[in-house]
Amino acid sequence: MTIKRAIELRQAGNGEEAKQLLSALHNDNPGNAEILYQLAWTCDSLGLEREAVPYYEEAIRIGLPEEDERGALLGLGSTYRTLGRYEDADALFRKARAKYPERREFRVFHAMALYNLGDHAEAMKLLLAEIAETSGDPGITDYKRAIAFYSDKLDQIWN
């Protein structure tokens, strides 16, 4: 019984079996952040968002290697949002963006939470900036400067 085996099971579409294995590992190692993170991820992938939350929170609280921490923060923030916990998602994504400013995925997921909070202008600003900065599509790259320029001026009327 290993974490690696549970990950393989989840990736192969055997989420229930992965969850059982991770739950057994968690029972034997309750303070293991990596097991908690993988258990949260597996619950999330099975549509068990409410069950995933405490596992994500505990894994983050205990501490994870940077790559796993980024994944756990994204998973938890996204799960908060899907559960209607928009303020929690907003707060988490703000912290994650401050800690990992180079990670674009936090901006995109944060935009979704901002949309849910009714902050449509900020959500659009984040998404338009990401599109302008990352797209390789010729139709976007031709207008990259304009998209970036207007990203925070959507309500401005030009005379």
**What's the pLDDT at 102?**
95
**What's the pLDDT at 23?**
96
Does position 57 have pLDDT exceeding 80, yes or no? yes
Sorted by sequence, the CB contacts under 8 Å of residue 53 that are 6+ apart come out as 40, 76, 79, 80, 83
Please state, for a pLDDT cut of 70, what percent of the chain lies above it.
Answer: 99
Tokens of 127: 């998404």
Does position 114 have pLDDT exceeding 80, yes or no? yes
Cα 142 to the center of its chain, rounded Å: 30
**What's the pLDDT at 82?**
95
Using pLDDT thresholds of 50, 70 and 90, give the confidence band for residue 105: very high
Closest CA to 96 of 83, 77, 111: 77
Interval 104-119 mean pLDDT:
97
d(CA 6, CA 20): 9
**What's the pLDDT at 158?**
82
**What's the pLDDT at 1?**
63
d(CA 118, CA 131): 21
Does position 79 have pLDDT exceeding 90, yes or no? yes
Using pLDDT thresholds of 50, 70 and 90, give the confidence band for residue 125: very high
pTM of this structure: 0.91
